[in-house]
Amino acid sequence: MDLFDLTGKVAIITGSSRGIGRAIAEAYADAGAKVVISSRKQQACEEVANAVNATHGEERAIAIAASISDKAMLQTLVSETRRRFGKIDILVCNAASNPYYGPMAGITDEQFRKIFDNNVLANHWLINMVVPEMIERENGAIVIVSSIGGLIGSDVIGAYNVSKAADFQLVRNLAIEFGRHNVRVNAIAPGVIRTDFAKALWEDPEAEAALNRVTPLGRIGEPDEIAGAAVFLASKAGAYVTGQGIVVDGGTTIRGGL
């Protein structure tokens, strides 16, 4: 028995046209799953889906664009996935936003609401859209990509960190609600990963060097180094894991943060 085999599973991964989301989608497809590539732009999604299918020589991926800020689009994402693949076994809530950098005293109400709407409320929406069929089958895996920001303080991305801390609690609450139905809910907390989303933290060589100095492994992470944890949490290997936040940060948090 391959503990990490996802053959026959169907997974939706938000924010999967690039970065961490794309790496997770590719890893799921490599493990045998059918994957739904979703982000705001259909063309970007199709490019990734085509690349995945070309790698495997069959339709292993489809592209369905959806903005996480639009509840109706998320419902279409779920409905269209069911129409084309028949079911949803795995949901990865990876997409997030952070429109503000600076002290929290300077953030506008609109910016604060956008952070919470996209990083917490959208996850709540999607989970409630997919979980009924998981409960009916008594089998399902939900993964929220949070951040080590939810475990530490910051004078630059404070509101974002608050939203990511909320994701940890969302995972804990839902793990209790859904556990009796064998539906597992977990979070992954990446450190600084070389993605466009985190570019402000690493694109300057001096900034990256500073990050490397405070990271026990001596470097920032790569997107595919988050994918392994996502495969673990979705597969038989993680069958007895729920309500947890798995930190994947090269050891940064054990030094007291950034």
- Tell me the Ramachandran region of residue 136: left when phi exceeds 0, alpha when psi lies from -120 to 50, beta otherwise: alpha
Q: What six digits make up the tokens of 97?
A: 């936003």
The strand pairing partners of 247, in sequence order, are: 189
Q: Which of 28, 100, 160, 240 is catalytic?
A: 160
Pairing of strands 10-14, 34-38: parallel
Using the structure block, give the residue that is written with the tokens 């949070």: 146
Per the annotation, the verdict on 160 as an active-site residue is yes
Q: Which residues of 175-213 are buried (b: 16+ CB within 10 A; e: fewer)?
A: beebeebebbbbbbbbbbbbbebbeebbeeeeebeebee
- Contact yes or no for 122/114 (Cβ under 8 A): no
Q: Cite the active site residues.
A: 160
